[in-house]
Amino acid sequence: MSFDVVVIGAGPGGYVAAIRAAQLGLKTACIEKGSTLGGTCLNVGCIPSKTLLHATELFHTASHKMGDFGVMAKDVEIDLAKMMHKKEEVVTNLTSGIAGLFKKNKIQWFEGTAKFEAANKLSVVKDGESQIVEGKHILIATGSAPIELQFLPFDEKDVVSSTGALSFTEIPKRLTVIGGGVIGLELGSVWSRLGSQVTVIEFLDRIAVGMDTELAKELLKIMKRDGLKFELSTKVTGMARQEDHIVLTAETMEGEKKSFETDKVLVCVGRKPYTRGLGLENIGVEMDKKGRINVNDHYQTSVPGVYAIGDVIDGPMLAHKAEEEGIAAVERIAGKAGHVNYNVIPGIIYTWPEVASVGKTEDELKAENVAYNVGKFPFKANSRARCVNESQGFVKLIADAETDRLLGAHLIGPNVSELVQELVSVMEFGGSAEDVARTVHGHPTLFETVKEAALAVDGRPIHI
């Protein structure tokens, strides 16, 4: 069968690209090796993890916070099986919704594993049977997979990736998380709230690498206060299985030997592009030293007619980044002006409080010798935050010292995954801190922290 566009992978980048291609009138197919659409994000990533984060936040609120408002909840209990059932229900509804969108847009879905036989020809194998699918344009959107440590192979029971950590059938008494990045912090939060003694071991001297340093320090302080333990500047070197537990050996940067007894180990040391088995060597697609596919500004690989987006190319491994790249790539294929502004892609950690960041950090601007001004405003000085008893954190805006153009926004606090979007929009249009400061914000809202931080850039906040 022959198509105008064939997309390999039905994750956020792939399925969105397929839908946009079909909207543009291109005959479109999508090949997915899984039995459901949505890829890692919808099936074993973003969506199930956010469902569990929300569920455990409700439990934590009922157990520890509602009493402050006179709402007394006694003997609050966790039904883990029901919580997991709700998670699966959300996943099923969303993945079946994508199948419905494919049907609506007349996208042909091939279930199976794709391999290049030629630049415009793929073999699709399922259950030992193969068929040929041809495309004038083929878009690789196969995503990424968890990195496995050689001495800690995944069994998804005791030593787990993020996939296994989303499906524990019992609450671990002790959980050790290797890696203090987004996934480790989020899933560590989930099981900590449910009663696990969580220890995070991080090779570097900080958590949340890539985020603003001040945000990372504040998040570390809050998570420690909430009961998580952290071992920074520490490298895990080995594992030994005992009869009923696991012993991890580790070494600090100063050479001190340590050991940790635990019941479960969650390994979150990063992800790698998933290109294995695609047959890229058959057609000569160029790769970089990290195993990513090289593309130009139009997402074209070194092979004419073959494109790549998302986690398999350079840049942050984020679902929303992949979505925008997928749209831009097929719009280019259709002769339109698809474009992604990489300077305004937000990064979010869905702990509580949440963390959100967009644009440049202070460290980056210092390294680039860019003069800037900073405005900060704490949630404890915001009336709505006080009303809802969520006063941890702050909003920090960074503006060019000469032009006042917003260069970065860094937030930690309640619902900042939503608040950051105002600043993404302002930065997309080249706006300034003064533009935000002069915009009317409803009262009382959490959004007023953004306005006050913008006022603070010029040294004129009202409420501090």
Of 291, 248, 242, 244, the C-alpha closest to 266 is 248
* Residues near 446 by beta carbon (within 8 Å), at least 6 away in sequence: 379, 382, 384, 385, 413, 414, 415, 419
Complete DSSP assignment for 138-174:
EEE---EEE--BTTB---SSSEE-HHHHT--SS--SE
Of 107, 120, 139, 129, the C-alpha closest to 2 is 120
Work out whether the CA dihedral 123, 124, 126, 130 comes out positive or negative. negative
Under 8 Å between Cβ of 245 and 262: yes
Phi-psi group of 83: left, alpha or beta (phi > 0 → left; psi -120 to 50 → alpha; rest → beta):
alpha
The token pair that represents 255 in the structure block: 């050479």
Whether 443 sits among the annotated catalytic residues: the reply is yes
Of 355, 357, 358, 356, the C-alpha closest to 341 is 358
Under 8 Å between Cβ of 83 and 52: yes
CA gap 12, 20 in Å, rounded:
12
Instruction: Find residue 92's DSSP bridge partners.
Output: none
Most distant CA pair in the chain, distance: 69
Among residues 64, 339, 443, 463, the one annotated as catalytic is 443
Which residue bears the tokens 């990195």?
A: 147
- Angle value at C-alpha 346, between 344 and 349, nearest 5 degrees: 165
Which residue bears the tokens 């790549």?
A: 308
* Surface-to-core class of residue 102, CB atoms within 10 Å of its CB (0-12 exposed, 13-18 middle, 19+ buried): buried
Q: Mind telling me the catalytic residues? A: 443
